[in-house]
Amino acid sequence: MAEISALLSDGQLEGVVITDEDLSGEWMPDRSELEGMDDNAAAMLAGHMFERLTGVKVENQHCEEYDHDEQVWSGLVNEYSWTIEQDGDDYLITIEE
């Protein structure tokens, strides 16, 4: 399984880039699942990433907006804002307070 590296800004979790190497891991959906995921799947992925990166149990998660054409999803996990978006060939998950 690929090691996930967090993007940090002043020591705070800012996000994570998901590459094709990460998509080959058993814990991640494959590219076709990412491209077609609905709002519930996006919220679950954001919650999974939040828990995996911070070690904090997810109490609540939901998706507020998503656009399949632009490949952008956003919402909240434990009162942190998150965004999943396509960034070239990769996907970028941003989590911030």
Residue 81 falls within a domain, yes or no?
yes
Q: Beta partners for 93?
A: 16, 84
Q: Is 86 part of a structural domain of the chain?
A: yes
- pTM to 2 decimal places: 0.73
Q: Which pLDDT does position 2 carry in this prediction?
A: 41
The reported pLDDT for the residue numbered 56 is: 86
Tell me which residue range forms the domain holding 79: 6-96
Establish if 65 belongs to a structural domain: yes
Q: Which residues of the chain have pLDDT under 70?
A: 1-30
What is the total count of domains within the chain?
A: 1
- Residue 1 is assigned to a structural domain of this protein: no
Decide if 20 is inside a domain: yes
pLDDT at residue 18, as a whole number: 59
Q: What are phi and psi of 47, to 5 degrees?
A: -65, -45
pLDDT at position 83, please? 92
Does residue 19 sit within a domain?
A: yes
The letter for the amino acid at 90 is D
How far is residue 84's CA from residue 72's CA, in Å, rounded to a whole number?
A: 6
Please report the pLDDT score of residue 1 as a whole number. 35
Cα torsion through 19, 25, 30, 34, rounded to 10 = -60
